Amino acid sequence: SITKRLSEEAGVNPEHINILHLLESSGGRNLTNPDSSAKGAGQIIDSTAKSLAKRLGTTQDKVQGDPETNVKGTLALWKDSIKRYTGNTDDPTIFAFADQHGGRPRIKAAMDKADNPGDIESVIVQLEIAGHTDTIDFIRKAQKELGN
């Protein structure tokens, strides 16, 4: 598959990207989100797609609409998240899932308020206080898919 090939080329566990696609777009079956500008298997929003297009040397439309370019964009974001949470969290992978769904500002705000910012359960408490149950649900589904 495109995801497997590109993930392996990028040094990313393809299972993680497949899980992300499963949770974000039902495995690529729901490619347009009616509640936001998110498109593609990775559900990349317009503003992020615009930024990724510059980074990848392509167009926003390709980042969101072309399956291979959407996976490349998803991988770039995933690698950024893993790097961001390696060394300062107990599980960079689950934090990357949180980041991909909730967005960096939401996760950072929860981490800033958490008793133990490197522990996902402590961050979830803060997400709950802030009313971000959608992100909590996403994290729990990711944990289940990962077998955690």
Global pTM value = 0.90
- pLDDT mean across residues, the chain: 92
What does the pLDDT look like over 27-48, one tens digit per residue?
A: 766 578 778 888 888 898 899 9
DSSP tag of 29: T
- What is the separation, in whole angstroms, between the first and last Cα of the chain? 26
Indicate whether 142 pLDDT > 80: yes
What does the pLDDT look like over 72-99, one tens digit per residue?
A: 999 999 999 999 999 999 999 999 999 9
**8 A C-beta contact, residue 36 and residue 47:** no
Give the whole-angstrom CA distance, residue 120 versus residue 113: 12
**8 A C-beta contact, residue 76 and residue 44:** no
